[in-house]
Amino acid sequence: MLVTHEVSNQVPDLPDVDLLAEDSALQEAVSRYAADHRPALQQLAVLAGSARARGWGEQADRYPPVLRTHDRRGERVDEVEYHPAYHQLLRTGVEHGLAAAPWTARPGSGAHVARAAGFYLWTQNDAGHGCPLSMTYAAVPALRHDPDLAAIWEPRLTSTDYDVGLRRASDKAGALAGMGMTEKQGGSDVRANTTAAVPEPGGPLEGGETYRLTGHKWFCSAPMSDMFLVLAQAPGGLTCFVVPRVLDDGSRNTWRLQRLKDKLGNRSNASSEVELAGTWGVRLGGEGAGVRTILAMVAATRLDCVVGSAATMRAALRVAVHHIRHRSAFGTLLADAPLMRMVVADLAIESEAATVLSMRLAAAQDAEQHDLLRLAVAAGKYWVCKRTPAMVAEALECLGGNGYVEENGVARLFRESPLNSIWEGSGNVNALDVVRALRTAPEAADALLAELDLARGAHRRLDGELVAFERTLRAAAEAAAQEPDQLAAGARWLVERAAVLLQASLLVRFAPSEVADAFVATRVRRGGGMGFGTLELDVDTSGRVIDRSVVAV
């Protein structure tokens, strides 16, 4: 038998580890906002950091869902079959309250932060199953526009029972929600929707006025969810509807799955095109108030876009740090090579900035700081999601050619990385929403500036930038009322600046000086280069930044 040469300098598999214990920034955020929830988070963090959970994520991605339109008799069934690993991931998320459970807690209890932290920890293994978790979380505030519909659906959506299978809501211990907004001709411009909703009183659904819907939804994720929030044109204008998969009499609603999307990433989650043909729905909110009704759901899903992107960054950083701690090149351990330390320290700073921002936004949800959320979520979603592909690509490069190979995990993260920047409104949509908020809700600008003011006096180099930004934002608020089109053209710069300064203010308040100083120097005052690894030479890269980012436990 031929025996090859002995190979050394190989990086071991990621060890089983408590993901909360090795994440300093997350630990500190949980202590600030949700200390009482730490024991439950610790339990989830141990499972999330195990080889078993990583295996579930890999399997769910490798064996994507399969559409089954008909049964063996030729009867239409419109079902999607998932790999068992996907069900295990989703079951774990639901059982740990990562769907809608926080809405049952009292305000200020830290439940939304705990849920965001759990979502961040658990979706590092697979982002796809996070989609139905996120939509279920976001459906509750929209349903609260109608107490009767909320009474029917909220107890099931907030349940921690994962009850798989299509059955009527009254027979289920728990339920999941989805959404059907976009159409072929409009995309993000949902006002261009052409799906028609015709009133037909006395239909087979409880909770309100019933309608028949006819049209085509272009991008409907998690099509096996129990109910969907759907936009359609009623006689009074664009309106929101609750559309269940199964009617109250136990029969299937008309929900024809035309095909599943062949996507770049997020492959464990089914995204479909749906044909509505006389499909039953119950009106949620008034006719013509569809956009206003659905905005509560959009705000919550955008928050999850920030949290989910921070999770993707974090997962990529973990792999990069693990690699450089075990791999040598040119006679030097990569973790000891000055230039590699510079690169990974820069990645760690970016990851921590995303983490602290996502947890602060969740804390604002707990505190019902709606004015702050109005601007900060859109700005955070815009910026953190845009930074994720570049950050993950640099982490992949730390592994060299090994990073480009699927088995090492970063390639999957890279395929995933652009999604959240597109979902729930692309960059332009979020930037324009900020402009709209400046025009219609001036108190939102005041709330953002008040949050930034909390960092005043803590960092000399940041203080001057905060003063300048206050002038800029107030001028922008005036321009939004007088010259909205001119302001819209520069909206991306304004939104980017708001997000970066918000991250900087949080780091100055809560992170060690070596992290905050480097962020301010390179992101706020632009003292570094355009790419990662171009920190100023006086920034500490001795190892403290890296060791803080991924604590050896």
Q: What residue ranges do the domains of the chain occupy? A: 24-157, 169-289, 293-549
The number of C-alpha atoms within 13 Å of 250 and in the hemisphere containing its C-beta is 1
Burial class (CB in 10 A: 0-12, 13-18, 19+), 244: buried
d(CA 453, CA 447) in angstroms, rounded, equals 10
- Decide: 374 and 414 in contact? Cβ < 8 Å: no
In 441-521, alpha helices (H): 442-453, 460-482, 484-489, 491-510, 513-519
Q: Which of 27, 148, 112 is nearest to 368 (CA)?
A: 112
Task: Scan for tokens 């974090």, then name that residue.
Answer: 314
pLDDT at 417: 98
The one-letter amino acid code at 116 reads A
Quote the CA–CA distance of 399 and 325 in Å, as a whole number. Answer: 11
Q: What is the DSSP letter of 521?
A: I
* Superfamily name with CATH number, domain 293-549: Butyryl-CoA Dehydrogenase, subunit A, domain 3 (1.20.140.10)
The pLDDT score that the predictor gives to residue 531 is 83
Helix or strand (DSSP H, E) at 229:
strand 227-234
The predicted structure's pLDDT at residue 540: 56
Residue 197 CB-density burial (10 A; 0-12 exposed, 13-18 middle, 19+ buried): buried
Burial class (CB in 10 A: 0-12, 13-18, 19+), 547: middle
CATH number of 169-289: 2.40.110.20
Sequence-distant (≥ 6) Cβ neighbours of residue 458 within 8 angstroms: 508, 509
Read off the pLDDT of residues 98-145 as tens digits, 9 standing for 90 and up: 999 999 999 889 999 999 999 999 999 999 999 999 999 999 999 999
Tens-place pLDDT, residues 204-257: 999 999 999 999 999 998 999 999 999 999 999 999 999 999 999 999 999 999
Q: How far apart are CA 533 and CA 526, in angstroms?
A: 13
What pLDDT, on the 0 to 100 scale, is given for residue 160?
98
pTM summary value? 0.96
Residue with tokens 């799955």: 257
121: nearest Cα among 197, 53, 172: 53
* CB crowding 23-59: b at 16 or more within 10 Å, else e: bbbbbbbbebbbeebbeebeebbbbbbbeebbebbbb
Terminal-residue alpha carbon distance, the chain: 41
Which residues are bridge partners to 221 per DSSP? 271
Degrees (nearest 5) of the Cα angle 120, 122, 125? 110
What Rg do the C-alpha atoms of the chain give, in angstroms?
24
pLDDT of residue 1: 65
Q: Rounded to the nearest 5 degrees, what angle is found at the Cα of 136, between the Cα atoms of 387 and 261?
A: 65
pLDDT tens across the length of the chain (553 residues): 678 888 899 999 999 999 999 999 999 999 999 999 999 999 999 999 999 999 999 999 999 999 999 999 999 999 999 999 999 999 999 999 999 999 999 988 999 999 999 999 999 999 999 999 999 999 999 999 999 999 999 999 999 999 999 999 999 999 999 999 999 998 888 889 999 999 999 999 999 999 999 999 999 989 999 999 999 999 999 999 999 999 999 999 999 999 999 999 999 999 999 999 999 999 999 999 999 998 888 889 999 999 999 999 999 999 999 999 999 999 999 999 999 999 999 999 999 999 999 999 999 999 999 999 999 999 999 999 999 999 999 999 999 999 999 999 999 999 999 999 999 889 999 999 999 999 999 899 999 999 999 999 999 999 999 999 999 999 999 988 888 788 888 899 999 999 999 999 999 999 999 999 999 999 998 766 778 888 876 665 557 889 999 998 7
Please report the beta strands in 397-465, taking only residues with DSSP state E, as ranges in sequence order: none
The vertex-118 CA angle with 417 and 318, nearest 5°, equals 50
Which residues are 245's β-sheet partners?
none
